[in-house]
Homo-oligomer: A and B are copies of this chain.
């Protein structure tokens, strides 16, 4: 046994334990009896303590020092294992424990503050979260840029500066596109009440249309839809709202995108660091391209319209074109998670600029609400009416997820690049999608991107798949073309 073999055997066991941890998270959101919450907390803490001990095990350092990679796959394995080991050893154990304890409490305080519209009740806790995450970032960056160190957790190889360049190029064109669209009348949505059980049946049909592998997954309901797991057990959740079946359908398609990425990774990488999606941004590119570029296309929605009428009868819409417009309505709104393709990225840019300033120290937590509301008014043209529509709307900051928000918009940018290349490679795509056949598109994504898992860094794998360095241009051109036609701008 070489040092590399020993390291990989140890790592496989760690990865298996991580799978278990993810499965517990799934169980908690779907199956767990509500009286079990406190015990589950102890179980998760025990698991986390085992995982932390393994990640920072001194033997991993020794094996990393002695390991001699035989090929590019081994090199990539070592790169990922080293990243995890350095992260685990750079952060003092006391700080890691304090952060875990604080963020688990902070989430409840945030939830209560949000339901009471009480920013003041949340600020002391948020200040403490920012303080500890800044300490962690300082330990991780060893004197370098603190925010960049946090971004690396979610998007290896990326940086705040690089993201800022992309976002700065996007913002004026999105603001202009949004303004042009909102000058036009809002097209009608669906009307009626839609049986949740039937929504779930349609969800299952949609998941099958997107080639979700039910022998290695399942669909359940949860309050917030998610995808969970890697390898050969990747489960998704969706939700139903009797007034809004689009929420259910597009949540399902979005999560199928995440899950399909995991399920398509080369089985040779299973139970290793390469056996998972390489970053949050690349993951989001898959969920978004499934949901938007494919799922909200004119071609696919015409098939979906037939399915929906089949399931529900009258939808209160004239024809497939009206259904397409209903699935792509652009309206004023405060909430990121409910935003359309055009406005979504503006929500992200707002959060990105604010959290960067919080981490650098340029913005005090006490001034966050005013900064949020000013920026919102500037980009969206109207005032935030209450904190739950403003800075209290998202859970992320309460649990310390600084550096995470930009990966949502990066995902959209990557999806734009992939979509452009995919359309070039598949001239007949629309005629397939009109039949509800996504196999051309999903097959192209599997072959060109998904199968590689963590082998290549995010920018590398997007460049390999799309044939060009990642850029915001394809996304912006796609959005401008789509919505110019749709709204007759």
Give the distance in Å from the alpha carbon of A49 to the alpha carbon of B35 in the complex: 30
Contact of A40 among B32, B233, B270 (CB under 8 A): B233
Which residue on B lies nearest to A42, using beta carbons?
A: B16
How many residues on chain A are close to B (CB under 8 Å)?
Answer: 38
* Interface bits A349-383 vs B (CB < 8 Å: 1, else 0): 00000000000000000000000000000000000
A52 to B: closest C-beta gap in Å: 12
Give the distance in Å from the alpha carbon of A42 to the alpha carbon of B271 in the complex: 9
CB-CB under 8 A from A23, the residues of chain B are: 24, 27, 43
Contact of A32 among B17, B36, B233 (CB under 8 A): B233
Which residue on B lies nearest to A38, using beta carbons?
A: B232
Q: How many monomers of this protein are in the complex?
A: 2
Q: Does A13 contact B (CB under 8 A)?
A: yes
Q: Does A20 contact B (CB under 8 A)?
A: yes
Q: Does A72 contact B (CB under 8 A)?
A: no
Which residue on B lies nearest to A13, using beta carbons?
A: B46
* Interface bits A38-53 vs B (CB < 8 Å: 1, else 0): 1110110111011000
In the complex, chain A residues 191-230 whose Cβ is within 8 Å of any chain B Cβ: 213-218
Looking at A31, A36, A49, A271, the one whose CB has the most chain B CB atoms below 10 A away is A36
CB-CB under 8 A from A235, the residues of chain B are: 33
A186 to B: closest C-beta gap in Å: 41
Give the distance in Å from the alpha carbon of A222 to the alpha carbon of B286 in the complex: 35
Q: Does A231 contact B (CB under 8 A)?
A: yes
Contact of A233 among B33, B47, B231 (CB under 8 A): B33
A207 to B: closest C-beta gap in Å: 13
Inter-chain contact A47/B31, CB cutoff 8 Å: no
Inter-chain contact A43/B31, CB cutoff 8 Å: no
User: A49-B13, A50-B17 are known contacts. Are A36 and B232 too (CB-CB below 8 A)?
Assistant: yes
A45 to B: closest C-beta gap in Å: 7
Inter-chain contact B46/A16, CB cutoff 8 Å: yes
For the residues of A in contact with B, the DSSP-based class is: helix
Inter-chain contact A271/B39, CB cutoff 8 Å: yes
Q: Does A336 contact B (CB under 8 A)?
A: no
Which residue on B lies nearest to A218, using beta carbons?
A: B33
In the complex, chain A residues 14-68 whose Cβ is within 8 Å of any chain B Cβ: 14, 16-17, 19-20, 23-24, 27, 31-36, 38-40, 42-43, 45-47, 49-50
User: A27-B27, A231-B39 are known contacts. Are A16 and B45 too (CB-CB below 8 A)?
Assistant: yes
Inter-chain contact B20/A24, CB cutoff 8 Å: yes
User: A16-B43, A17-B50, A27-B27 are known contacts. Are A34 and B215 too (CB-CB below 8 A)?
Assistant: yes
Inter-chain contact A20/B43, CB cutoff 8 Å: yes
Q: Does A12 contact B (CB under 8 A)?
A: yes
Give the distance in Å from the alpha carbon of A83 to the alpha carbon of B119 in the complex: 54
CB-CB under 8 A from A27, the residues of chain B are: 23, 27
Which A residues contact B (CB, under 8 angstroms)?
12-14, 16-17, 19-20, 23-24, 27, 31-36, 38-40, 42-43, 45-47, 49-50, 213-218, 231-233, 235, 270-271
- 30 of the cross-chain contacts (CB-CB < 8 Å) are A13-B49, A14-B46, A16-B42, A16-B43, A16-B47, A17-B43, A17-B50, A19-B39, A20-B20, A20-B43, A20-B47, A31-B31, A31-B218, A32-B233, A33-B214, A33-B216, A33-B217, A33-B218, A34-B215, A35-B213, A35-B215, A36-B216, A36-B231, A36-B232, A38-B232, A39-B231, A39-B233, A39-B271, A40-B233, A42-B271
Q: A16-B42, A35-B213, A36-B231 are in contact. List 20 more A-B contacts (CB 8 A).
A: A12-B46, A13-B46, A13-B49, A16-B43, A19-B39, A20-B20, A20-B46, A20-B47, A27-B27, A31-B31, A31-B218, A33-B215, A33-B218, A33-B233, A36-B233, A38-B232, A39-B233, A39-B270, A39-B271, A50-B50
